Structure 1
């Protein structure tokens, strides 16, 4: 078989097998065990037709799977009200729904995150999903509290997210938890002070407009991650100004610490410094003097 080529038998057999796989060789009718060459145009056209048939089969399977998922989703949404809202009881139900919505998002995920440090287990759970979203070209904009910069785990998550193309800004206090998908669906907490209680999924245009406005207002006031928050004309940082606003509203140091995501010791140290700068003998007087001086 290989006498006329000067090539080893195993190399010739391998070449013939490859040509047969490409439909460029067929059995010859002129001799037992003989082969005949096939025109590349004919052989490769047959190969293309087989590939197209296989692709069509896969497409039919995908369409059947998509229809099955849609049917399951429709059955799962039996609790949806007339205005499209759904009550999600408990943190597990919220997380499951966030995962489902993340798969279908097309343009942007925008979120307000008043929570504390981003623990490694939470980062491990959300990381792959966020990466898939960004790799699909979907934008991620997140607002977090300024205090998160003091936590190494949360800083690591922020660097990772922004390194992939996500955007993050920080503010002294975040008004409430909020996640908006494509400006079409918003996830709002049932209890802003207890995110584990659950959430409500809303699609009402009015609620969505208010939610988007709240996010954009908070985003505009934020400091981009990687930049330092600059003090205002009175020398107050955003966190110091927020602390004055909280104390002036009659809240305690404990409440201020919780809202700012800071330790009680840090809040008291900051407040003592502010009282000295405002020449105040009490927290109440500090609030009054801050208003008179135009700090608030």
Structure 2
């Protein structure tokens, strides 16, 4: 069987009654238990699938079987299958170990001598990340700017993150506040947090960053088009240490990811101040949205809310009023069209 469910109350009561009376039909058991006959019929089928009941002849009559025999009958094929899988895994390890030693003796030392390797192809990036993850023994830290991620990417990362947690590896992830509006991201975070991962949010993050064991850092290249970008694999100790210090600085000022409540863009005072500060820098709506990890339309709503709060009808007027309130340096107006 591919799927074994725990027995419900009706199934347990049905088994107990059949065991007590010797054999019975569905209607007799339903009358005794005081439930609809279709519930007993479903319970009987469930018990028969688990080898706990067998047909005794007649109109759907059934007799109880020994659970220990049923257990052996169900578990033995699974144990044999597991043993076969383990033999296959062992065979793969043995065959590839020879090739791995050959590869490391020739190609790997050359690669490790290079402090920064540029990986132009996304598949090369994925393979290097998989290798770093398998070799990781202590910690993985991740900066994840922007809003929520796609369900497909989250599903892939979930399995990898849970596997790392099972090995006792510390996992820390930093998102932007706006990622809390993504239902898929919230579901992912809820599962990894339950497994012991640490997930926080901050207003602004730099480009995406992944670091394994404070030795291997992956920095993505600029995306061009829809294809996934390549990345730089950094192993230079000084550069990796700097990236880790930058992560720690942001981590200390971050807050836990809110997996409760309603999935929506957070309207916090920190976010409002960030919007004002970026407006004061004269950035366009699209740039502000990208910096804050939200859609341009959503960003414009926040900008409109800021202007409405101060009673401004234009960005120029908003700059003057915000400067008077001390929210931006005096004279540093908000550029706008």
TM-score (norm 1): 0.68
Q: CA deviation at 1:282?
A: 2.7
Q: Which among 299, 307, 313 is matched to residue 267 of structure 1? A: 299
Structure 1 pair 163–236 and aligned structure 2 pair: CA distance change class (3 A): closer
Q: CA deviation at 1:191?
A: 2.3
Q: CA deviation at 1:165?
A: 0.6
Q: CA deviation at 1:177?
A: 0.7
Partner-residue secondary structure (3-state), 2:228? helix
Runs in 1 of length 4+ with deviation above 3 angstroms? 61-68, 73-79, 192-195, 278-281, 284-296
From the CA coordinates, give the structure whose radius of gyration is larger. Answer: 1
The answer to whether the 8 A contact 2:140-2:213 is kept is yes
Partner-residue secondary structure (3-state), 2:111? coil
The answer to whether the 8 A contact 1:118-1:157 is kept is no
Structure 1 pair 186–278 and aligned structure 2 pair: CA distance change class (3 A): same
- Name the residue aligned to 1:159: 190
Structure 1 pair 292–83 and aligned structure 2 pair: CA distance change class (3 A): farther
Q: Could you tell me which runs of 5 or more consecutive residues in structure 1 were left unpaired when the two chains were aligned.
A: 1-58, 229-234
Q: Which among 255, 262, 277 is matched to residue 245 of structure 1? A: 277
Which range moves more in the overlay, 100-109 or 75-84? Answer: 75-84
The answer to whether the 8 A contact 2:176-2:203 is kept is yes
The answer to whether the 8 A contact 2:200-2:254 is kept is yes
- Name the residue aligned to 1:207: 239
The answer to whether the 8 A contact 2:141-2:172 is kept is yes
- Name the residue aligned to 2:154: 123
Q: CA deviation at 1:170?
A: 0.8
Aligned residues: 233
Q: Could you tell me which runs of 5 or more consecutive residues in structure 2 were left unpaired when the two chains were aligned.
A: 1-89, 261-266, 329-337
CA distance in structure 2 between the aligned counterparts of 1:260 and 1:271, rounded to whole angstroms:
12
Structure 1 pair 81–109 and aligned structure 2 pair: CA distance change class (3 A): closer
TM-score (norm 2): 0.61
Q: CA deviation at 1:173?
A: 2.2
Aligned pair 1:99/2:115, yes or no? Answer: no
CA distance in structure 1 between the aligned counterparts of 2:288 and 2:116, rounded to whole angstroms:
33
Q: CA deviation at 1:111?
A: 0.8
